[in-house]
């Protein structure tokens, strides 16, 4: 009888333990064909000696089977302990998975998988779907790309300078003559510049994205921030000097950050604030945040002004500047449905029918008062206060129109007002004083 215990798992490698064959030797005397003799006495030991020659065949076979089962159980325990030490199914599967990923990276077809809940938008998933093996540029490749971009920038600056001087765009032939290069060499420089620009932009896309993500929620979308950061990246590459021993990523980091901050300052608001106002608003906002955390309440203007050493009026103006304008086309939901702010906000007072009627009646009363004056006095008052819809004029301007001195115009204006105050018709205008 031969028995083998084998432990297998899902991995290609299996561990097995074989138990040697156990074949008991039986020697039967000729008398075994006769009727069976009385049974042998039982043994105290569970194991049988191999030299024992029993006279009962079935008893020996049963003992051999019991011995084999004990050995098989022990072999199974040993194999299971070995499998648990090596790691079992999980370890072998992990090794195989790593091998598959390594083979994919060698072929250049693995893409970085980004979970949707971590990135939050379709734009970020597109950005993070670039190949992992696009590669980080070596210092030599970075230096070559920088030289190509700097040469292209030099030629572009020359073309722009000559175009501004001649007040028209240069043709390729004129540019070739101006820089003293052949047409083939010029095209080669611009072609290498475009290739280097594309290579730099793709290689440092993740650096730009990591910086841009820190400035989200400040008025520009993530895609716009990445675009502005890429512009700053190329601007820094054109100014990079490989001979100074500095890494390109360290140098362009500040150019990327500066481009993003300037874009937020200049493009995040519909009405652009001057630089001084922006700095003041930033200080007031930071002080407001710190005091709110410290006091556990909204700080007053006096408290903010005290900590910043500013006037209270300046702090109040900064709070007005930090508010973003609201579009009149913005929708407002109410019980009647969705309406725009333009439909809800009332117009100027001139468009109200009641006010228009009052204004017309007041003009008629003023005309009655002016008829009590002389023609020159009435004209002086009309020009002085803009009663005919024109801009009010000064005494000097009225004097030039009427060919009078400034002092004489002032005297005529004073006499006309005194006459109006003495008339009884002026009392009819008291009702319009409250309305104005």
4-7 vs 331-334, strand pairing mode: unpaired
Euclidean distance between CA atoms 129 and 106, whole angstroms: 18
In a domain, 34, yes or no: no
Give pTM, 2 decimals.
0.45
Q: Give the range with max mean pLDDT: 11-25, 32-46, 89-103.
A: 89-103
**Three-state DSSP state, 397:** helix
Q: Give the count of domains, the chain.
A: 4
Q: Are 212 and 164 in contact (CB under 8 A)?
A: no
pLDDT at 111: 41
The CATH code of the domain that includes 362 is 1.10.10.10
Evaluate whether residue 118 is within a structural domain.
Answer: no
Among candidate residues 344, 368, 392, the one where a domain is terminated: 344
Among 245, 267, 289, the domain-final residue is: 267
Let me know whether 387 and 417 are in one domain. yes
State the residue range of the domain holding 293.
275-344
State the CATH number of the domain containing residue 150: 1.20.120.1810
* Cα gap 359→431, rounded to integer Å: 12
In a domain, 13, yes or no: yes
CA distance linking residue 228 with residue 222, whole number of Å: 10
User: Which tens digits make up the pLDDT trace of 31-90?
Assistant: 444 444 444 444 444 444 444 444 455 666 667 777 777 777 777 776 666 555 555 445
Considering 250, 267, 284, which residue would you say is the last residue of a domain?
Answer: 267
Q: Are both 291 and 229 inside the same structural domain?
A: no
In a domain, 79, yes or no: yes
Domain match, 263 and 159 both: yes
Per-residue pLDDT reduced to its tens digit, 391-435: 888 988 998 888 889 899 999 999 988 888 877 666 666 666 655
């Amino acid at each position: 009888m031969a028995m083998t215990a084998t432990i297998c798992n899902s991995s290609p490698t299996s561990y097995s333990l074989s138990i040697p064959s156990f074949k008991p030797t039986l020697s039967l005397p000729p008398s075994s064909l006769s009727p069976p003799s009385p049974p042998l006495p039982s043994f105290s030991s569970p194991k049988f000696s191999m030299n024992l020659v029993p006279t009962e065949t079935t008893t020996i076979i049963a003992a051999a089977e019991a011995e084999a089962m004990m050995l098989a159980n022990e072999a199974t325990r040993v194999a299971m302990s070995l499998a648990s030490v090596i790691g079992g199914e999980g370890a072998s599967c992990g090794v195989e998975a790593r091998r598959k990923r390594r083979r994919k990276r060698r072929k250049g077809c693995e893409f970085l998988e980004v979970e949707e809940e971590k990135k939050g938008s379709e734009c970020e998933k597109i950005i993070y779907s670039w190949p992992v093996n696009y590669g980080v540029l070596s210092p030599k490749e970075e230096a070559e790309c920088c030289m190509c971009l700097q040469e292209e920038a030099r030629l572009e600056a020359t073309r722009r300078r000559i175009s501004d001087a001649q007040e028209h765009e240069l043709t390729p032939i004129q540019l070739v003559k101006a820089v003293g290069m052949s047409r083939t060499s010029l095209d080669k420089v611009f072609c290498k510049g475009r290739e280097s620009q594309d290579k730099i932009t793709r290689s440092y896309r993740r650096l730009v994205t990591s910086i841009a993500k820190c400035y989200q929620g400040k008025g520009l979308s993530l895609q716009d921030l990445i675009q502005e950061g890429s512009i700053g990246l190329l601007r820094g590459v054109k100014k990079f000097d490989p001979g100074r021993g500095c890494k390109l990523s360290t140098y362009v980091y500040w150019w990327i950050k500066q481009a993003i901050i300037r874009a937020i300052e200049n493009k995040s608001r519909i009405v652009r604030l001057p630089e001084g106002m922006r700095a003041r608003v930033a200080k007031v906002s930071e002080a407001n945040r710190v005091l709110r955390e410290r006091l556990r309440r909204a700080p007053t203007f006096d408290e903010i002004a005290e900590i910043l050493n500013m006037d209270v009026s300046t702090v109040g103006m900064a709070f007005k500047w930090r508010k973003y304008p609201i579009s009149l086309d913005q929708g407002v939901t109410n019980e009647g449905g969705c309406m725009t702010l333009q439909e809800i906000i009332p117009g100027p007072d001139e468009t109200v029918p009641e006010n228009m009627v009052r204004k017309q009646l007041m003009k008629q009363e003023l005309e009655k008062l002016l008829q009590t004056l002389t023609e020159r006095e009435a004209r002086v008052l009309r020009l002085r206060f803009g009663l005919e819809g024109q801009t009010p004029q000064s005494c000097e301007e009225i004097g030039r129109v009427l060919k009078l001195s400034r002092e004489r115009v002032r005297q005529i204006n004073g006499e006309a007002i005194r006459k109006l105050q003495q008339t009884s018709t002026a009392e009819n205008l008291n009702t319009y004083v409250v309305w104005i």
